[in-house]
């Protein structure tokens, strides 16, 4: 069985699409896939949604599936079954985890050796169908696991936390389209290039400082940087009323910092809350939101 990780972005959303750094961390959940060689047409079964897609159909899932099959290499038709345990369209890298798991399972079934970087490269073929201009950070962390520093066009670099980061993750219930939000920010960049480029530079600085603070285990500093990153993302108009509410609730419950994670426009938020994770989750539940705890830096493989 092939496995891939869902993720949270700790720092760097949207700026990473335009060449700046992002810091992303794997969750202890994501997607699994199994594949076997068959006769006829390759088939993809998405178990959580009860969807079955043939590779020669004319829709985005079929095109993405076919793109991964071609990127992996080999010609043998395969039957692939995928299971996912994170919500789609929520900023947790569900799509990338699915793509990496598929790539690994297909490679195993076809007898092809695939490195982590190779799995990420194959998965990017899937991501381009759904997200248009993906930065690559989602597939990088889905394939590598752990915490990484990522810059578009470069190698993923490990970030080793100086302890376990206690996060709370919440889903606002608002589906989010990364492609739509990336396009929205791109339009702002075209209209106000100097302002938006400065915002990207500010986010980049926060990401680099955040990586150093994570490695040193300076959680109070990490929390402050997360708040600043969220403010800059809000200035790019990718936050929502619900994202603002869950971040506020987390801070009021004792979190050191909170921010949206992923493309925004809905989806999820994260809160850094050492010793306060349950209090944050309880505050969210009381307001009608569901979340879960995540321990970043503890073994997940």
What DSSP line would sit under 6-52, residue for residue? Answer: EEEEEE-TTGGGGT-EEEEEEEEEEEEEEEEE-SSS-EEEEGGGTEE
The answer to whether residue 58 is catalytic is no
Other Cβ atoms closer than 10 A to 187: 11
Find the catalytic residue in 56, 79, 83, 138.
Answer: 138
Q: Which CATH architecture has domain 2-157?
A: 2-Layer Sandwich (3.30)
* 300, pLDDT greater than 70: no
Half-sphere exposure of 81 (CA within 13 A, CB side): 6
Instruction: Give me the chain's average pLDDT, please.
Output: 92
* Per-position b or e across 245-255, b if 16+ CB within 10 A of its CB: ebbebbbebeb
Position 58 scores a pLDDT of 86
* 276, pLDDT greater than 80: yes
pLDDT top residue among 301 and 247: 247
The Cα 290–Cα 157 span in angstroms is: 32
pLDDT top residue among 155 and 37: 37
Q: Is the pTM of this model over 0.95?
A: no
What would the mean pLDDT of 172-195 be, rounded to a whole number? 92
The Cα 44–Cα 46 span in angstroms is: 6
User: Distances in Å between the alpha carbon of 294 and those of 16, 36, 70, 168, 170?
Assistant: 23, 33, 35, 6, 11
What would the mean pLDDT of 247-268 be, rounded to a whole number? 96
Partner residues linked to 51 by β-bridges: 46
Query: Predicted confidence band at 156 (pLDDT cuts at 50, 70, 90)?
Result: confident
Cβ contacts of 115 within 8 Å, gap of 6 or more = none
Q: Residue with structure tokens 């798991």?
A: 101
**Helix (DSSP H) and strand (DSSP E) numbers for the chain:** 9, 11
Contact assessment for residue 68 and residue 102, using Cβ atoms and an 8 Å cutoff: yes
Q: What are phi and psi of 30, to 5 degrees?
A: 170, -120
Looking at domain 160-296, its CATH class is: alpha beta
Cβ contacts of 92 within 8 Å, gap of 6 or more = 6, 7, 8, 27, 86, 169, 261, 262, 267, 268
* Residue pLDDT, tens place only, 208-244: 999 999 999 999 999 999 999 999 999 999 999 999 9
Strands 2-11 and 51-54: unpaired
Contact assessment for residue 234 and residue 18, using Cβ atoms and an 8 Å cutoff: no
Position 301 scores a pLDDT of 40
* Residue pLDDT, tens place only, 37-84: 999 999 999 887 778 999 889 889 999 999 999 999 998 999 999 999
Q: How is the chain split into domains, by residue range?
A: 2-157, 160-296
* Residue pLDDT, tens place only, 194-209: 999 999 999 999 999 9
Largest CA distance in the chain: 58
The Cα 251–Cα 273 span in angstroms is: 9
Question: Count of residues for the chain?
Answer: 301
Query: Predicted confidence band at 185 (pLDDT cuts at 50, 70, 90)?
Result: very high
Q: What is the CA radius of gyration of the chain?
A: 19
Contact assessment for residue 52 and residue 43, using Cβ atoms and an 8 Å cutoff: yes
The CA angle 152-133-118, to the nearest 5 degrees, is 55
Position 177 scores a pLDDT of 84
């Amino acid at each position: 069985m092939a496995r891939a990780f869902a993720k949270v972005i700790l720092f760097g959303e949207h700026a990473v699409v335009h060449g700046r750094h992002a810091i992303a961390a794997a969750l202890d959940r994501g997607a699994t896939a199994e594949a076997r060689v068959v006769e006829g047409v390759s088939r993809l079964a998405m178990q959580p949604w009860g969807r079955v897609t043939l590779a020669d159909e004319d829709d985005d899932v079929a095109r993405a599936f076919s793109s991964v099959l071609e990127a992996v290499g080999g010609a043998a038709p395969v039957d692939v079954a995928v299971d996912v345990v994170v919500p789609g369209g929520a900023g947790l890298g569900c799509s990338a985890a699915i793509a990496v798991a598929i790539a690994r399972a297909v490679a195993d079934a076809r007898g092809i050796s695939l490195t982590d970087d190779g799995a990420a490269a194959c998965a990017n073929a899937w991501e381009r169908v759904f997200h248009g201009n993906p930065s690559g950070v989602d597939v990088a962390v889905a394939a590598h696991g752990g915490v990484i520093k990522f810059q578009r066009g470069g190698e993923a670099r490990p970030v080793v936390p100086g302890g376990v980061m206690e996060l709370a993750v919440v889903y606002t219930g608002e589906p989010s389209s990364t492609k739509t939000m990336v396009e929205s920010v791109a339009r702002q960049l075209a209209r106000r290039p100097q302002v938006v480029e400065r915002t990207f530079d500010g986010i980049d600085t926060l990401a680099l400082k955040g990586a150093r603070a994570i490695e040193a285990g300076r959680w109070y500093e990490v929390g402050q940087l997360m708040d600043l990153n969220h403010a800059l993302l809000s200035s790019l108009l990718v936050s929502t009323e619900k994202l603002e509410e869950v971040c506020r609730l987390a801070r009021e419950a004792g979190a050191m910092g909170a921010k949206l994670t992923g493309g925004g426009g809905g989806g999820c938020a994260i809160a850094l809350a050492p010793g306060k994770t349950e209090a944050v989750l309880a505050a969210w539940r009381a307001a009608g939101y569901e979340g879960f705890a995540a321990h970043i830096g503890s073994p997940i493989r």
